[in-house]
Each structure stands twice: as structure tokens, then as C-alpha cells.
Amino acid sequence: MFCRSSNKLLDEKTVAEFFAGIGLVRLGLERAGWNVVFANDIAEDKEQLYTGNFHDPVKHFLREDIHTLDVNKVPAAALATASFPCTDLSLAGMRQGLSGKHSSAYWGFIRILEELEERRPPIVLLENVAGFLTSHGGKDFQAALLALNRLGYSVDAFILDAARFVPQSRVRLFVVGTLSSVHGRWKDTRTPSFFEGPLRPAALADYIFHHPEISWSVRQIPNPPEKTRLRLVDLLEKVPENDPLWWSKERTEYLSSQMSDKHAGTLQGMKEKKSWSYGTVFRRVRNGVSRAELRTDGIAGCLRTPKGGSAKQILIQAGYGKVKARLLTPRECARLMGADDFNLDRIPLNQALFGFGDAVCVPAITWIAENYLNPLIQELIKEDEPIQEMYYAEKRPFKQSA
């Protein structure tokens, strides 16, 4: 278990990040005063983006498969983060779950925590898609949390949408694990806490309530901000009309022909305006037919890794009797992730899209650090044997969302 004589780690807010990707979790944590002392990922392309944006990766970035990573190379830290692959927890991975080729990397992370023994970090932060909650009927989520329990961590979970910070719909499930020995004993107040709210919607609250076999430590968290006032148009680059990034007339017309009558009608209305308006398009297969689905609420769809044509988000610009289309640029993707100044020099389009499609929204991580992790750290530093309130759900149905 974690040794209290190592409170220096808490004071310095040190971080070991796994599945580090291009470093956006690091960016978010650093803005809240955290210090990364170790980073690990398996992808060379992501390491290149990471090393191009931080001054010290040579000192602590280790590119290696987490299943074979030597635990002796992992330093002690106050926090371990894991944004493990989501592929097998979504439709893209055929819902194979934590036993799938990619998402099974989670068990490599658990192995590392186990082998760290007394150097085990007092806090763990997991991030993945919201589908993690329902994968295999909730059994994958249960297995993941019970694994943390067995290592001494009690757990909390909440769901946060990046659209509260940037004009991108990106809903993610977060889990915080805290070593029970650090928390000390629990004060049972029998206070109901699993009410629905902005961070714990009905499905998550219901899951917590119906899984008493899991050791929970659910904390009260401030409500996150309302959706950002920024809109997609605020983040777009000024791409000249004759730039080759814009698609040909024929390609654009073909895209339009793939729209349903409803979406085609919306696009026609945009085209007839005496001003430019914008939307985004994803191609999806509906009833065996490829459809181009248009979104025009000023919020981009969730950025994805470009593993196929349907995964690439398309920008639509319409007005003055014209319709133009192109892919989002790497800089626009960076802005949609809250990493406006990310260094993208000489980075190919697909490499950038892969990096951001697998990443975590920077201001969302900063908000979590400031409103959850930082107060938790202060509690752990302040009290030798802190008494945390453990909240219990009353044995009654959850109130339904409006």
C-alpha cells in the first residue's frame, strides 16, 4: 500500500501517465498544477507528436507495450492516469469489450499497479467512452472496478461531455480510484448521494446503486459549466476558396446525394442564405445504405481516428448559392480538443487525425483536476487518517431525468 512518508509525491502532484498518446491529458493536468514524471505509449506516431510539444520527453517517455513494460522503470507518483484504448468498447470494435485485442490493454495497466506494491499511486484516473458502462451488459465495467478494488482502491465514476468546454460533442466516462488505506475509515452517514445530475445521469447512478459488491467512494462534485458559447465557426481556419483542401464540385455533390430528404432540405436552406453557415458531416450506414448525416447546431461531432472514410469528419460551408466541403484540418482538430497552440509542424493529416481522435479534451481534464483531484490531494495531505463521508443510495427508485 501507499506509504504516508511519501507525502512529497502528493505535495508535488506527480503523475505517471499510461496510454499517454499525444499528451493532451498532460496538458490538462499541467494547467492545474500537476507534474508528469513518466509517460508510456506504444504508438511511434503519437510519440512523435508528444515529443514535439514537451521539453522533457527524453527523460520520461517510454514507448513500449504495457503488457511487457518493466515495472521497475515506473517511478512512484501521486496519480496514475490511463486513457486505455476504447476500440473494443464501441461499435467500431464489435463490442468485444475488455477481452478484445485493443481494450484488453487495461489488464496491462492493472498488472503495473499490482507490481508497484508499496509504490502504488494513491490515486488513479481512468478515461474511456461512455459505452464502457454498458459493455457486455455492464460486466466489463464491473470487472474493471473490482480489479481496482482488489488492489486497495475504492472507486468513483462520472460522465463529462467536452461540449461544456469546446464546440465538440465528446462524452467520456471517468473513474477515480483512491487507495482505501489513504482514505482511512469511512464515516457511514446514510446520506443518499446517488441522485441524478449533470455528472451522474440515471444509467450511471442506477449502476452504482445496483452494484454493492463494488467498493464505492462517491464524492460530491461541483456542477460542471453549461455548454460552451463557442461555436464551430469560431475555431475554423480561413481556407482560401481555391485551396485544394476544398473538394471538387462532383465530390461535394455526391456527398449531398447521400443525405436523407430532411438533411438535404437543411443543406438547401443553408445554400440559399445570403451569408455563410457551417455544419459537419459523418458518413454512416443506415439500413445497409451509406448516409451523409449533417449536423448544424454549431457543435462538431466527436473526433475519431480515421480508420475509414466514415470516421473522417467533413466540414460543410454553404451560402450565396454554393455548397463547399472539405475535411477538418489538424489545427481545427487541435482547437476542438482545447489544444489551440499544439505544435503540428510537418505532421501529416492522418497522423494528426489519429492523434486527436484518440485523445482527451484538455479543458475537461483541467476541470476534473481543479474540482476533484486537487481537493482530494489536499484532503490526503491534511489528515493522517481522514474520515470521508461514504454515501449510500436509499432503497428507492432514482428520479427520472426530465
DSSP secondary structure string for all residues of 300-320? BPPP---SSGGGS-EEEEEET
Question: Which of 15-19, 184-188, 245-249, 274-278 shows the lowest per-residue confidence on average (mean pLDDT)?
Answer: 184-188
Q: What is the pLDDT of residue 41?
A: 95
Question: Checking phi first, is residue 137 left (phi over 0); if not, alpha (psi -120 to 50) or beta?
Answer: left
- pLDDT at position 89 is 58
Mean pLDDT, all residues of the chain: 86
Average pLDDT of span 333-360:
94
Q: What is the pLDDT of residue 86?
A: 64
Please give the Cα distance from 67 to 109 (Å, whole number): 8
How many other CB atoms are found less than 10 A from the CB of residue 374?
15
Q: Helices (H), strands (E): how many in the chain?
A: 15, 13
* Nine cell digits for residue 102: 485493443
What element of type H or E holds 389? strand 388-390
Does position 306 have pLDDT exceeding 90, yes or no? Answer: no
Residue 8 predicted with pLDDT over 90: no
**What is the average pLDDT across 192-211?**
82
Contact 155, 145 (CB under 8 A): yes
pLDDT, mean of residues 110-139: 94
pLDDT for the residue numbered 223 = 94
What pLDDT sits at residue 96? 55
pLDDT at 94 (0 to 100): 47
Q: Is the pLDDT of residue 389 over 50?
A: no
Check: CB of residue 70 under 8 Å from CB of residue 84: no
The pLDDT value given to residue 90? 53
Q: What is the mean pLDDT of residues 370-390?
A: 74
Q: Which of 91-100, 216-225, 266-275 has the highest mean pLDDT?
A: 266-275
Looking at residue 17, its pLDDT comes to: 97
DSSP state string for 101-170: TTTTHHHHHHHHHHHHGGG--SEEEEEEEGGGTTGGGGHHHHHHHHHHHHTTEEEEEEEEEGGGTSSB--
Arithmetic mean of pLDDT, 187-192? 39
Over residues 328-341, the mean pLDDT reads 97
Q: What is the mean pLDDT of residues 350-359?
A: 93
Cell matching residue 223: 456542477
Higher pLDDT, 98 or 261: 261
Split at pLDDT 50, 70, 90, the class of 309 is low
| 114: confidence class by pLDDT, cuts 50, 70, 90 | very high
**Residue 304 reports pLDDT greater than 60:** yes
CA dist 90 → 93, 96, 245 (Å): 6, 8, 30
User: Is the pLDDT assigned to residue 401 strictly greater than 70?
Assistant: no
Give the model's confidence band at 196: pLDDT under 50 very low, under 70 low, under 90 confident, else very high: confident
Question: Which of 50-59, 96-105, 213-222, 269-278 has the weakest average pLDDT?
Answer: 96-105
Of the chain, the percentage scoring pLDDT greater than 70 comes to: 84
- Domains annotated on the chain, with CATH: 4-229+357-390 (3.40.50.150), 238-328 (no CATH)
Residue 296, CA distances (Å) to 121, 171, 267, 283, 317 in order: 44, 18, 9, 15, 10
What is the pLDDT averaged over residues 162-181? 93
CA 124 to CA 21: how far, in whole Å?
17
